[in-house]
Amino acid sequence: MTYASTCITITFFFLPQSSRSYLFDGAVSTRCTKGYEVVRRRVRAFYSPRFLHSSSNRRAGGGSVVVRLRRNSALPSPYISPTTTWAEIVRHQASGSCAQIIAGLLLLVRNINDQSRSLKCQCQRVDDADGMTSGDANRTWFTESVSQANQILGDLNGQKVISFENGSVMPNNEASNHSSYKTRGNSIEDEAWRLLQDSVVYYCGSPVGTIAAKDPSDSSSNCLNYDQVFIRDFIPSGMAFLLKGEYDIVRNFILHTLQLQSWEKTMDCHSPGQGLMPASFKVRTVPLDGDDSATEEVLDPDFGEAAIGRVAPVDSGLWWIILLRAYGKCSGDLSVQERIDVQTGIKMILKLCLADGFDMFPTLLVTDGSCMIDRRMGIHGHPLEIQALFYSALLSAREMLAPEDGSADLIRALNNRLIALSFHTQEYYWVDKRKLNEIYRYKQEEYSYDAVNKFNIYPDQISPWLVEWMPDKGGYFIGNLQPAHMDFRFFSLGNLWSVVSSLATTHQSHAILDLIEAKWSDLVADMPLKICYPALEGQEWRIITGSDPKNTPWSYHNGGSWPTLLWQLAVACIKMNRPEIAAKAIDVAERRLATDKWPEYYDTKRARFIGKQAHLYQTWSIAGFLVAKLLIEKPDAARNIWNDEDAEIVNALNIMADSNPRRKRGRKVLKKTYIV
């Protein structure tokens, strides 16, 4: 009988001053990291928590084990996936010898770990592997494989790297060419994971976040604040680490940013509310008090007092609550959200958002530039993005708040706000062809409690582009609503997160995805996804943006295309059981992102050019792509991110809709009183 022979090389290495080690599988390649030549297995990165988080594995060095599997059929693909555990590998429905071989590898690695031996340019002795596999034949070829591993590492020191493919030994360049077509997608993911790991920031030896961008071509004087850890920018990075099973960095980020919340923050002698979260922070090394020869690391936060335009980061606290819930859902560790300081932090954010003011609406009133669009773009007032994040944060906070007497009033206010915000947004922000025709026929200057045109909107505000652009099937939430003003621009993040958070009804959620499909050439084109559509041009651009040279038409926030929005699109599509839309967008992005060096955004109407001022190797472009890929591969994981529709809120909205005079029905007495 003829057996197909398949070779796997599992290579591991350690980096100095790092608590992370890696296991890789796939095509062999090399790179230099802090002076060490290491072998890196490509195709899919695989992390083993028990092995990698041991403090004894922090020394520099490396090792390799080559395994030859003799089987009747080809090796299952993917045999080792990004989320596969060793136990799952052993239980794989393969031949008995296959499972024993992999189990032997696991024991070999554990022995290396337990004995704390230096692995630089050497492998574990073969004697230690005796007894790990059953059968003399298995033991024989396993011994030979370890010897081959030594040869690989020896050749590596001489800059001569070999690869095993289907039982044959090939030079690295031939192996790369041989498998380049098969592993194209996976190699892009490998590069993305490496870049994401390289962007990690450490504080006192522990990972606390990822910097906004790490472009090698950028000088330190030109990076502005892109060398800082931004709250909103870390969210896709945090989601990627959570989906990968690396929980420590997210936990550290949550707790350290919580400590910054209580810092004193002033600008021109004025202090904002206590619950405000910073926009970003940076790890700085400063001299130790009283000892100039010693230094210490400190976190230096920016609450907007140093930001361009001095914008307040309203969305930071909302994203922090959303990430906190996702951490608990993914890791199963609820002890973090149950901590007294974390509970206090949640309440401080809620009190800041729910504070009484002059506003008549349940939506949050904010200034321009207070969210992802952090420059002047005419979104001051009640922008959709803030309302969607606000709704999601309220639902998440209600889920995490510990029941106690002191929280009763806060939870009551939270519930009232959820219902009012949901009704207000669904009723007044939504537009489709039918609603657009209704606005077109609005009467003005209505003075009554039962007015149809409650916000005194003038039909002439409906732009000619919208009349032609609105599809027969589909709709969306407008960007902003104020007295006598409706911002009809389509804002991607606000609409996608309305789906994710269940702020949109099921019908509205499907209609939003219908519109994205119908207007694919406008919203996706050559790179997903337009941050808003259409762009401000001409006199409108000059008046609204102040002639902002960075927000020129179809650039940056003014109609630019942002790859980081891929992950929100993926969550929304998976939630509505339409993952094919996200998969199609990922395919479009995958063709260019790595080649274009992971830019921050793209310019032009069809996103054909890299943004004129876009930073390369933008971390949230990298992380957004990775999260989208992981979610498409394991869609069930998206449940840890989205908010399910709340039955009580839906019931309350139905009662309120039935009691609305516009429905041509008699008034009904509400069973409960809701503030709208």
Give tens-digit pLDDT for 69-110.
Answer: 333 333 333 333 434 343 333 343 333 444 444 444 444 444
Separation of alpha carbons 215 and 657, rounded Å: 52
The CA radius of gyration of the chain, in Å to the nearest whole number, is 28
Give long-range contacts, CB 8 A cutoff, 24+ apart: 110-117: 110/50, 110/51, 112/63, 113/51, 113/54, 113/56, 113/57, 116/56
**Residue 661's pLDDT is what?**
55
Sequence-separated (6 or more) residues with CB below 8 Å from residue 453: 442, 443, 444, 446
Q: Using alpha carbons only, what angle is made at residue 89 by residues 87 and 93, rounded to the nearest 5 degrees?
A: 115
CB 204 within 8 Å of CB 297: yes
CB 227 within 8 Å of CB 634: no
- Beta-bridge partners for 482: 485
Dihedral (CA of 98, 100, 103, 104) sign: negative
Q: Using alpha carbons only, what angle is made at residue 227 by residues 222 and 231, rounded to the nearest 5 degrees?
A: 135
**Residue 448's pLDDT is what?**
79
**Residue 450's pLDDT is what?**
82
Of residues 289 and 17, the one with the higher pLDDT is 289
Q: Using alpha carbons only, what angle is made at residue 603 by residues 190 and 607, rounded to the nearest 5 degrees?
A: 65
Tell whether the model's pLDDT for residue 133 goes beyond 90: no
- Beta-bridge partners for 11: 24, 64
Which residue, chain included where needed, has tokens 């599988």?
25
**Residue 406's pLDDT is what?**
77
Separation of alpha carbons 668 and 266, rounded Å: 50
- How much is the mean pLDDT over the chain? 76
DSSP E strands in 450-566: the ranges are: 475-477, 480-482, 485-487, 490-491, 532-533
Separation of alpha carbons 475 and 512, rounded Å: 5
> Can you give the pTM of this predicted structure?
0.72
Kindly report the number of other CB atoms within 10 A of residue 667's CB atom. Answer: 10
Angular region, 235: left φ>0, alpha ψ -120 to 50, beta rest: alpha
Separation of alpha carbons 675 and 354, rounded Å: 13
Q: Domains of the chain: which residue ranges?
A: 189-657
pLDDT digits (tens, 9 = 90+) for 137-147: 444 433 444 44
- Beta-bridge partners for 37: 32
Locate 56 and state its tokens.
Answer: 């004894």
pLDDT digits (tens, 9 = 90+) for 323-333: 999 999 999 99
Q: Find the distance separating the first CA and the last CA of the chain, reported in whole Å.
A: 77
**Residue 356's pLDDT is what?**
86
Locate 68 and state its tokens.
Answer: 């030859």
Q: Does CATH place domain 189-657 in 3.40.50.1370?
A: no
Which residue, chain included where needed, has tokens 């790859």?
563
Sequence-separated (6 or more) residues with CB below 8 Å from residue 638: 570, 571, 574, 575, 631
pLDDT digits (tens, 9 = 90+) for 532-566: 999 999 999 999 999 999 999 999 999 999 999 99
Tell whether the model's pLDDT for residue 397 goes beyond 50: yes
